[in-house]
Amino acid sequence: MAQTIRYMSKAVGVTPAADDAAATLQPLQGSVAALTHQGAGVPINSISDITLATATDPLATSDMYVAGCVPKGHKLIDSYIVAGDIDSGVALVMSAGLLKKDFTDLEGSSTNVITTSSVGQAGGVARADTAAGLLQAVSDYDTWYGIKITTGATGLNTGAKLRMVLIYIPDGN
Each residue's pLDDT, cut to its tens digit, for the chain (173 residues) gives: 567 777 776 444 444 433 343 333 333 333 333 344 445 567 888 888 888 766 555 688 999 999 989 999 999 999 999 999 999 889 999 999 999 988 899 998 889 999 999 999 999 999 999 999 899 889 888 999 999 999 999 888 888 889 999 999 888 75
Contact 158, 88 (CB under 8 A): no
What CATH number is associated with residue 11?
Answer: 2.60.120
- 96/104 Cα distance (integer angstroms): 13
Domain that includes residue 108, residue range: 5-170
- Count structural domains, the chain: 1
Q: What is the pTM of this model?
A: 0.80
